[in-house]
Amino acid sequence: MTLRDIFKSSFLENVSSVTLLDMALALVLAFGLGCFIFLIYKKTYNGVMYSSSFGVTLIALTMITTLVILAVTSNVVLSLGMVGALSIVRFRTAIKEPLDIAFLFWSIAVGIVLAAGMIPLAVIGSVVIGLILLFFVNRKDHSNPYIVVLQCTGHASEQAARAFLEARTDRCVVKSKTAQKGSIELNLEVRLKGDDTDFVSELADMDGVSSAVLVSYHGDYTG
């Protein structure tokens, strides 16, 4: 193969298949929308330990998806090869929060839509999705279940604590009970009547109650 044959290769013809302006515009928009997704992720995160690396991953995933789809849309043969190459990729990282899956798909979808040239759909759709997530995730719902962990010294104090909880909450159900000599541990599911958790302090001050802990199901300690 001579130097002249190299310049006649179809490989070099792909250099001009995507213009520099298209690449720059797509990547800049992908970066901007990726930052917007990252901001929404920070505002709506309710887990135990916040991971900044996952937020950066959302930005990178948006830009990488845009880059891949730009290449795919410019060459049909490349698109078939890309499908085969990506089909062998396996990710082993566990997703701890269910909402994180939505952010991952959001980033991928934005990258695909941007690379397809549907800029208004990507921008307006991201704004609408972000507002919906901000409203529903940050909304305080008093009907969310909580677990009350009680340490009692005897049967009488156990009955008094349960009666107190049934009067101060909408629902009180025993989930588990561990009894030892001079000690009873109860795990009760409760539904709060409001956002007031001061009753936990009152519960801990009752005679025969050693400790009282209020825990939400998603791992946040509120009392």
What does the angle CA 176 – CA 180 – CA 181 come to, to the nearest 5 degrees?
A: 150
Domain spans, the chain: 3-137, 145-216
pLDDT of residue 7: 47
Q: Using one digit for the tens of pLDDT, what is the confidence trace for 156-175?
A: 888 888 888 888 888 888 88
Which parts of the chain sit beneath pLDDT 50?
3, 6-7, 11, 219-223
Residues 6+ apart with CB under 8 A from 61: 34, 104, 107, 108, 111
Q: Using one digit for the tens of pLDDT, what is the confidence trace for 64-106?
A: 888 888 877 766 555 555 655 555 556 566 677 778 889 989 9
Question: What's domain 145-216's superfamily in CATH?
Answer: ACT domain (3.30.70.260)
Largest CA distance in the chain: 95
Q: How is residue 141 written in tokens? A: 């719902």
Residues 6+ apart with CB under 8 A from 67: 27, 115
pLDDT of residue 128: 95
pLDDT of residue 88: 53
Judge whether 138 and 48 are in contact, CB under 8 Å: no
Residues 6+ apart with CB under 8 A from 214: 146, 147, 148, 197, 200, 221, 222, 223
* Its pTM surpasses 0.85: no
